Amino acid sequence: MQGNKSQKDFAAELGIPQPTLSSYESGKIKPTVDAIINIADKCGVSIDWLCGRDETFHLGSLGDVLSCFLELYETNEFSIKTSIHDRVDLESKDATEDEDRNWIELKIYHNEVFHNPEATLNQDLCSAIEKAYKLTNELRHFERSQESYEREKLYFIDNMRSVPITKIDHSDIPEEEQRKRMLELMKAEWEAMENGDK
């Protein structure tokens, strides 16, 4: 947490004697609530993080990224349309440069509830993605300091924590009923495609 600062410099920044900081770090004495708040504020971290209670999800591997996408796809409240283009026709004379590459496209519509009436939070998800995109772009282009970015990031995340989501769970639906619903959905999608072509 001190970064490249010496213990003496870090203690001076916190406004406490160096032996006191040393005692905090060694566990000889426990900091007061005011001291914890002071350290959290000076370091730009949450008290939960400082006390080892932060449960924020961090991406540290491709497995974490996959887990994140699965969590999104498993929700009832979001409707995320995904187009996967994985066939390259190198023989086609009409293929553009973009079509020569494999690509995946995700679309999240603000008010997509037609196919899935339970998808009620698409607008919130779109707003969250837009805020995240703008915020990280400001950091990437040096328009915002790391400290300011971390502060705004925590603020947006905390605001969104009050919006609950639920997971898809078909475990209580008999297999026969699941097949029936699958056929109904396929029929509805087919009819929507046919009507779109007319």
Predicted confidence (pLDDT) per residue in 5-57, tens digit: 788 888 888 889 999 988 888 888 888 888 888 888 887 777 877 777 766 66
Supply 125's token pair. Answer: 């998800």
Residue 13 pLDDT: 87
What lies within 8 Å, CB to CB, of 100 at 6+ separation is 88, 90
- The three-class DSSP label of residue 7 is helix
Q: What is the pLDDT of residue 163?
A: 82
Q: What parts of the chain have a pLDDT lower than 70?
A: 1-4, 54-57, 87-101, 112-118, 197-198
pLDDT at 186: 92
- Look at the block and give the residue holding tokens 């961090």: 58
* pLDDT attached to residue 176: 95
